[in-house]
């Protein structure tokens, strides 16, 4: 079976307010693959995620990104989403006055136009809520307003499940979750992640990778991917910590 390239990132540099945070990252994800990007806070992994999704504060200064063969970088955040990119937010925003259901309806409508099939929408919505153990009452609550950390993250996965992207970047979806919530979220990701698309799990810890086995693990330090390996790399990292790895890496590059 020949694999399609879902995402090709080639030597991408990202700046925030003139300061370079991501310093040349290349990455390729084939259909059906799950990759983990691991790194400490400030390593640039979230900046890479936000830049790929088109956040206006994260400027990609050089490099190329293709999603399913299409240039992503000349597209707005809206167009990137419609092209099949999904970012699960590390800190999902609260939008008062906008219910979860209306928010999702707007997102679906952006894809299907006014011909949105309300009956089908409701059916899928209910199914996915059940999968993520989200109570029905959430549909009419304001988006993330008064939600716990775990509820917000489950809602991010609900959105992914509804929008069916080609590539999902899940930015620290595991943070702030207790063990039960982590299982639910991980299960939700496994069930509803794009089967023939790709998934990038951006994470600090290895623990979510117990539930979602990545095909590849990339370690980011100071804006660069310094090491790439299989699922076992995450375990190594967990055992030795980032400090050990940093020492190794600096020795390798002779700093």
Partner 1 sequence: MNTVTMRKNSIDFRGQNRFEPEWLYNIRKESWNYYNDLELPHRSNHLWRYTNAQDLLPNNLEELIKIIPSLPDQSENDSSYGDEDFSGYGYNRSDFMTFARLSHDFEKSGVVFKDLLTASRENEDIVKKHLGQLVGYGFGKFEAMNLALWNTGLFLYVPDNIEIKKPIRLQRHPSGPNTIHRLLVVVGNNSKLTLIDDYSGECRKEEAQSNSAVEIFTGDASNVKYFNTQRLSNSCISYITQRAQISRDAKFVSVFAGIGSKISKFNTGTILNGEGAESKLYGIVFGNENQHFDYHTMHHHTASNSYSDIDFKVVLKDEAKSAATGLIRVEEDALNCQAYQVNRNLLLNEGPKAESIPELEILCDQVQCSHGATVGPIDQDMLFYLMSRGVDYKEAMNIITLGYLEPTIEKFPVELGELTRELLATKMKG
| Binding residues vs partner 1 (CB under 8 A) | 53-57, 76-78, 80-82, 86-87, 89, 92-93, 95-98, 102-103, 106-107, 110-111, 142, 159, 163
* Closest distance of CB 55 from partner 1, Å: 5
Q: Which is nearer to partner 1, 11 or 140 (CB)?
A: 140
Q: Which is nearer to partner 1, 78 or 247 (CB)?
A: 78
Q: In what order do the strands lie in the sheet with 198-203?
A: 85-88, 167-171, 198-203, 34-39, 216-221, 224-229
* Closest distance of CB 112 from partner 1, Å: 10
* Closest distance of CB 72 from partner 1, Å: 13
Q: Which is nearer to partner 1, 137 or 251 (CB)?
A: 137
* Closest distance of CB 172 from partner 1, Å: 16
Residue 201, Ramachandran bin (φ over 0: left; ψ between -120 and 50: alpha; else beta): beta
Name 184's Cβ contacts closer than 8 Å, sequence gap at least 6.
132, 133, 154
Name 86's Cβ contacts closer than 8 Å, sequence gap at least 6.
159, 160, 163, 165, 167, 168, 169
* Number of separate helices (H) and strands (E) present in the chain: 7, 12
Q: Which is nearer to partner 1, 97 or 254 (CB)?
A: 97
């Amino acid at each position: 079976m020949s694999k399609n390239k879902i995402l090709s990132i080639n030597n991408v540099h990202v700046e925030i307010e003139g300061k370079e945070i991501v310093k040349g990252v290349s990455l390729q994800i084939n259909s059906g693959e799950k990759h983990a990007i691991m790194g400490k806070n400030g390593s640039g992994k979230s900046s890479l995620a936000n830049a790929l999704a088109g956040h206006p504060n994260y400027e990609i200064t050089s490099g190329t990104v293709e999603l399913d063969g299409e240039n992503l970088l000349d597209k707005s955040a809206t167009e990137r989403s419609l092209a099949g990119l999904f970012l699960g937010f590390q800190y999902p925003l609260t939008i008062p006055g906008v219910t979860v259901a209306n928010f999702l309806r707007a997102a679906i409508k952006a894809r299907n136009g006014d011909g949105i099939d309300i009956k089908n929408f409701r059916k899928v919505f209910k199914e996915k809520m059940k999968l993520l153990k989200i109570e029905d009452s959430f549909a009419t609550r304001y988006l993330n307003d008064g939600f716990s950390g775990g509820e917000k993250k489950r809602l991010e996965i609900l959105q992914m499940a509804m929008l069916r992207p080609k590539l999902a970047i899940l930015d620290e979806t595991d943070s702030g979750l207790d063990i039960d919530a982590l299982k639910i979220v991980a299960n939700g990701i496994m069930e509803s992640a794009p089967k023939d698309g790709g998934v990038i799990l951006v994470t600090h810890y290895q623990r979510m990778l117990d539930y979602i086995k990545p095909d590849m693990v990339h370690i980011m330090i100071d804006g660069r991917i310094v090491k790439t390996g299989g699922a076992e790399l995450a375990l190594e990292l967990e055992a030795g910590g980032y400090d050990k790895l940093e020492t190794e890496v600096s020795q390798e590059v002779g700093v």
